[in-house]
Amino acid sequence: MNDNQLLRYSRHILLDEIGIEGQEKILAANALVIGAGGLGSPVAFYLASAGMGRITLVDNDSVDLTNLQRQILHTTERVGQPKAESGKETLARINPEVEVVALKERVEGERLSELVRQASVVLDCSDNFATRHAVNRACVQHKVPLVSGAAIRMDGQISVFDTRGAESPCYACLFPPEQQFEEVLCSTMGVFAPLVGIIGTMQAAEALKLVADIGESLAGRLLLLDARNMEWTSIRVARNAACSVCG
Ligand SMILES: [Zn+2]
């Protein structure tokens, strides 16, 4: 780290849990962020400000006026622009040292697999089951930890799926792809603005802890937030031996 970096990251370096060694791990890490919307916004903000070495921001959509109530990476002037590009522009102002790769595409198949293989950590900030399952499959295949978040109406959830640990479940252990879940999309449902901030910020925290190797992650636990009453529930979740993805 040069003098400027020592200053920029000094409040991390002062932490016993991070220090110079931990900050160097963060600077050398590479995060894949799927979705530059409500969850992806706070995720990208904190990963960039904290010095994540490279952030690959994937989003197929463009900024819409209805996004601005909660998708804080984007601005009124950027309505109509690709979200990935808009996000890259915002992050460059916060921390120009971070390499941001903006991909305006819906990544799937081999392409997704290759991006996951190169990542130190993957953050699922998408809003649909098809993407969540595809990202989970690639993370299981390459044994890359997955920080998964979701938020709808006044309810949020977050967990870490890290199949490097033998006991740790994958996303499909909890939500089997064979099972039909009612798809509730933010694009048509309401969502409380700060809810995505709370969940996304926690996703960023878990990702930074994973790459800097700090404490215990949320692997094996699912946190549910009822924001009406601001109540958290923590549920222990185990690997499913019959899981069609990791079993
Ligand atoms: Zn599984």
Residue 241 C-alpha to ligand 1 middle, in angstroms?
Answer: 8
pTM over 0.85: yes
Q: Is the predicted pLDDT of residue 151 greater than 70, yes or no?
A: yes
Give pLDDT, residue 188: 75
Using CB atoms within 10 Å of the CB of residue 116, give its burial: 0 to 12 exposed, 13 to 18 middle, 19+ buried. Answer: buried
Give the residue from 191, 157, 199, 151 showing the smallest Cα distance to 174.
157
Give pLDDT, residue 134: 97
Residue 132 C-alpha to ligand 1 middle, in angstroms?
Answer: 13
Give pLDDT, residue 185: 62
Give pLDDT, residue 166: 87
Residue 178 C-alpha to ligand 1 middle, in angstroms?
Answer: 12
Catalytic (active site) residue 186: yes
Distance spanning both ends of the chain, measured CA to CA: 42
Mean pLDDT, rounded, for 208-218: 97
Task: Tell me which of 139, 173, 186, 246 is the catalytic residue.
Answer: 186
Q: Is the predicted pLDDT of residue 42 greater than 90, yes or no?
A: yes
At 219-232, the pLDDT tens digits run 999 999 999 999 99
Report d(CA 173, CA 188) in Å as an integer: 27
Residue 150 C-alpha to ligand 1 middle, in angstroms?
Answer: 18
Tokens of 169: 């479940």
Mean pLDDT, rounded, for 76-91: 98
Residue 236 C-alpha to ligand 1 middle, in angstroms?
Answer: 15
* % of the chain residues with pLDDT over 70: 97
Give the residue from 108, 142, 114, 120 showing the smallest Cα distance to 245.
142
Give pLDDT, residue 179: 82
Give pLDDT, residue 186: 60
CB neighbourhood size of 32 (10 A): 29
